[in-house]
């Protein structure tokens, strides 16, 4: 698949940790495997935002970024500040810091420090979209009169490849809809920058195929039909076109992203706004159960206010990067890792599912020079040199093996054609799950080896956050027309079916994954013309807008990265209707009001989740939840209802509880056509007025409640 359309996965390892509690398992070391290697060998294997690895020597004086779980994060941060070590407190027990290599061992010896780990580095993973999700029924659009357009809600995007002053992020008067912009300078972790209310021209300096610009417009791009300087507006605006925006070009460094999420939440709280954060990124390295310090810290932030996260499931559908087995007594099974042709590192993890702090499976790493060749078992010294380690995770108490090493190092020790394998002998009932990082290789099949599959591929770093919503992708369309050559391009993908690339669940956590599916195939949205990868001859460009002397580009991309902001925009609409929605209520909306068709099952499915997202049915449920609150707040005294005109009828959705209401339709001359009196109207109740058989002409639809008297002109042609 073209890298432009791929959800990128994470590239560095992290031992997991939980929040607001001391480690469950306390007998192991306080430094994760990578930091122990840094301390013992003064070597650091690190990936950049594109997944390119480099192995380099570090000095004791050099500072590296870490995540610290401590008894009192604020107190420890005060000490580190006094010592001029940069840090940021995230919660009462979690902080990020830059610590000299020579201080790591000393810091780990402190009784009030529970665990120190190195952060992972993640990689980044519309007309028909609005109709497929029924968002056109709840947002301002042709034939629709509704207050639900995302106004008053904050949509935040942490990503790479922003053009922050793209016309898609402007108001009709040219002012920016971006309320905060935080660029840490070309994906280098700049520690002293602060979010800014001013938005610069140009791009964010990150070569990412304009991924962030495309994603943001899907969620909340502006409706250009309202711009006087645009001669011919396209219809590629977002799901929540009036939402406020918070944009963060990110390094995808885990420690930085924790700060990003906390900062967004703090800003939204200060502004009194509900918010939704879009994370179109991920990794396959992690326990896949929501227990990492990153997962739990982000979850803690979400619990503090009216905030939600939509996260991409991943684009690993069809990749054989997962394997599992439940053992009979003393049964022996093996996995064999085959690196991808362009991989520069080996990345694999194997996790037991038992969380009792005990080892139920014995791991014996080996290498072979051919798939059927003789196994040569690695010595402890070789394992240390290759970055292969095992232990009990201190926070989920699960036995695991982790392998992270430079591929050239592995070949120099084991041979140029060598492949890494792990032999496993388990007790009765013991269960393991193994993962290879996406695009870094696969599990080879063969005699004596577990066959790789694409199950349990919930992306770490986003969809693994317990209270995040994991978004799968289905084919909303399979065609697009290029604005460059006028040609029609596409695929043979079945419209409506789950996208072949969409990573399926389930996972080892308790919350459902995926949660819901949204359109993600050939989605048209804004392009970043300042991205170094952008070309004006790109046939993926589907629309070019001129505003004054400036050209703005729109085009297609494919991936769960595109499906995720669809869900983020829909949630913004629901939050506008009811800012007090809880996670449990939002989850119930997905469970009970998602779309089902011939492709989806009636209940939960590991490919689609609870079904296909339905903005219209969901907003009715959101309004019903609002009606059960302490008080009812009118959307506006002149808009007691949401109206949708269809070919032969008007659909009337009440926005609030009403003791009574009347609905009447009269001719322009005053002749009453119909009248309906209602008692005990509930918020979210829907009524329909038929126009079938009416002579052509002008009519007046009147809705009267104790709080409002509303007239709407109806034209029948």
3-state secondary structure 318-379: CCCCEEEEECCCCEEEEEEEEECCCCCEEEEEEEECCCCCCCCEEEEEEEECCCCCCCEECC
Q: What is the pLDDT of residue 50?
A: 54
Over residues 444-481, the pLDDT tens digits come to: 877 789 999 999 999 998 999 999 999 999 998 888 88
The answer to whether the beta carbons of residues 327 and 429 sit under 8 Å apart is yes
- Which tokens go with 390? 């095992």
Which of 11-20, 59-68, 690-699 is predicted least confidently?
Answer: 11-20
The answer to whether the beta carbons of residues 502 and 519 sit under 8 Å apart is no
- Which tokens go with 395? 């926070």
Alpha helix ranges (H) inside 485-578? 560-577
Q: What is the pLDDT of residue 499?
A: 92
Q: What is the pLDDT of residue 139?
A: 45
Residue 437 above 70 pLDDT? yes
Nearest to 567 by CA among 520, 524, 603, 522: 520
Residue 711 above 70 pLDDT? yes
Coil, strand or helix: which one is 203?
Answer: coil
Residue 630 above 60 pLDDT? no
DSSP string of 217-261? HHHH---GGG-TTBSS--S---SSTT-EEEEEE---BHHHHHHHH
Confidence of residue 544 (pLDDT cuts 50, 70, 90): very high
Q: What is the pLDDT of residue 82?
A: 64
Residue 696 above 80 pLDDT? no
More confident call, 126 vs 13: 126
More confident call, 513 vs 59: 513
Residue 14 above 50 pLDDT? no
Which of 146-160, 302-316, 452-466, 532-546 is predicted least confidently?
Answer: 146-160
More confident call, 697 vs 377: 377
Q: What is the pLDDT of residue 323?
A: 96
Q: What is the pLDDT of residue 141?
A: 32
- Which tokens go with 428? 């009765």
What's 686's DSSP letter?
A: E
Residue 275 above 70 pLDDT? yes
Q: What is the pLDDT of residue 99?
A: 83
Residue 132 above 70 pLDDT? no
CA distance 91 to 94: 5
Q: What is the pLDDT of residue 56?
A: 67
Q: What percent of the chain has pLDDT above 90?
A: 42
More confident call, 601 vs 553: 553
CA distance 239 to 648: 26
Residue 49 above 80 pLDDT? no
Over residues 207-221, the pLDDT tens digits come to: 888 999 999 999 999
Q: What is the pLDDT of residue 51?
A: 53
Give me the mean pLDDT over the 50-62 stretch.
Answer: 68
Averaged pLDDT score across all residues of the chain: 83
Give me the mean pLDDT over the 5-25 stretch.
Answer: 37
Which of 178-182, 234-238, 276-280, 706-710 is predicted least confidently?
Answer: 706-710
Confidence of residue 18 (pLDDT cuts 50, 70, 90): very low
Q: What is the pLDDT of residue 627?
A: 59
Q: Virtual CA dihedral for 186, 189, 190, 192, nearest 10 degrees?
A: 150
Q: What is the pLDDT of residue 251?
A: 83
- Which tokens go with 211? 């991924």
Which of 3-7, 127-131, 498-502, 525-529 is predicted least confidently?
Answer: 3-7
Residue 335 above 50 pLDDT? yes
∠ CA 165-166-168 to the nearest 5 degrees? 120
Q: What percent of the chain has pLDDT above 70?
A: 86
């Amino acid at each position: 698949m073209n890298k432009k359309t791929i959800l990128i996965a994470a590239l560095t390892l992290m031992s997991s940790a939980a929040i607001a509690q001391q480690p469950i398992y306390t007998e192991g070391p306080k430094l994760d495997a990578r930091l122990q290697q840094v301390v013992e060998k003064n070597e650091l294997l690190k990936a950049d935002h594109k997944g390119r690895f480099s192995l380099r020597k570090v000095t004791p004086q050099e500072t590296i970024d870490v995540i610290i779980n401590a008894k009192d994060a604020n107190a420890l941060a005060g000490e580190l500040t006094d010592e001029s070590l940069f840090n940021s407190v995230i919660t009462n027990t979690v902080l990020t810091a830059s610590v000299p290599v020579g201080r790591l061992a000393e810091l780990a010896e402190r009784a009030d420090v529970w665990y120190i780990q190195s952060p992972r580095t993640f990689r980044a993973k519309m007309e028909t979209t609005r109709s497929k999700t029924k968002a056109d029924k709840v947002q301002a659009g042709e034939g629709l009169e509704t207050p639900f357009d995302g106004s008053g809600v904050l949509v935040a995007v942490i990503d790479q490849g922003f053009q922050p002053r793209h016309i898609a992020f402007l108001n009709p008067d040219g002012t920016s809809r971006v309320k905060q912009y935080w660029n840490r300078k070309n994906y280098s972790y700049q520690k002293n920058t602060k979010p800014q209310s001013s938005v610069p021209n140009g791009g964010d300096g990150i070569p990412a195929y304009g991924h962030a610009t495309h994603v943001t417009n899907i969620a909340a791009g502006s409706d250009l039909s309202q711009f006087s300087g645009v001669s011919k507006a396209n219809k590629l605006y977002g799901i929540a076109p009036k939402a406020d925006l918070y944009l963060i070009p990110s390094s995808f460094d885990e420690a930085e992203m924790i700060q990003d999420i906390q900062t967004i939440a703090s800003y939204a709280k200060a502004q009194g706004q509900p918010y939704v954060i879009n994370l179109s990124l991920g990794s396959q390295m992690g326990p896949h159960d929501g227990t990492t310090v990153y997962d739990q810290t982000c979850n803690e932030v979400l619990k503090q206010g009216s905030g939600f996260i939509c996260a991409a499931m991943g684009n690993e559908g069809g990749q054989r990067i997962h394997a599992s087995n439940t053992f009979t007594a003393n049964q022996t099974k093996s996995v064999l890792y085959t690196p991808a042709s362009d991989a520069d590192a080996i990345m694999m993890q194997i996790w037991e599912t038992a969380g009792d702090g005990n080892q139920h499976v014995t791991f014996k790493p080996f290498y072979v020079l051919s798939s059927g060749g003789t196994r040569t078992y690695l010595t402890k010294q070789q394992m240390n040199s290759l970055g292969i380690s095992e232990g009990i995770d201190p926070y989920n108490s699960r036995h695991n093996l982790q392998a992270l090493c430079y591929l050239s190092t592995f070949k120099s020790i084991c041979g140029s054609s060598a492949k890494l394998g792990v032999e496993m002998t388990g007790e009765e009932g013991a269960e393991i799950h193994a993962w290879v990082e996406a695009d870094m290789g696969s599990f080879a099949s063969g005699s004596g080896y577990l066959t790789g599959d694409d199950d349990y591929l919930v992306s770490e770093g986003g969809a693994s956050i317990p209270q995040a919503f994991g978004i799968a992708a289905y084919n909303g369309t399979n065609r697009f027309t290029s604005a460059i050559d006028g040609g029609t391009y596409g695929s043979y993908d079945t419209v409506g079916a789950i996208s072949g690339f969409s990573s399926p669940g389930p996972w080892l956590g308790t919350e459902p994954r995926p949660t819901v599916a949204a359109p993600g195939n050939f989605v048209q949205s804004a392009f970043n013309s300042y991205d170094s990868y952008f070309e004006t001859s790109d046939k993926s460009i589907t629309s070019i807008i001129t505003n004054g002397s400036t050209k703005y580009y729109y085009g297609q991309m494919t991936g769960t990265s595109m499906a995720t902001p669809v869900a983020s925009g829909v949630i913004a609409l629901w939050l506008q209707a009811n800012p007090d929605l809880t996670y449990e209520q939002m989850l119930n909306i997905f469970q009970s009001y998602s779309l089902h068709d011939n492709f989806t099952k009636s209940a939960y499915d590991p490919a689609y989740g609870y079904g296909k997202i339905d903005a219209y049915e969901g907003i009715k449920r959101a309004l019903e939840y609002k009606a059960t609150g302490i008080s009812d707040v009118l959307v506006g005294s002149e808009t007691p209802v949401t109206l949708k005109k269809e070919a032969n009828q008007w659909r009337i959705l009440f926005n609030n509880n009403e003791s009574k209401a009347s609905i009447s339709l009269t001719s322009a001359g005053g002749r009453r056509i119909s009248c309906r009196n209602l008692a005990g109207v509930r918020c979210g109740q829907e009524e329909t007025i038929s126009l079938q058989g009416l002579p052509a002409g002008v009519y007046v639809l009147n809705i009267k409640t104790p709080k409002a008297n509303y007239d709407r002109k109806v034209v029948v042609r």
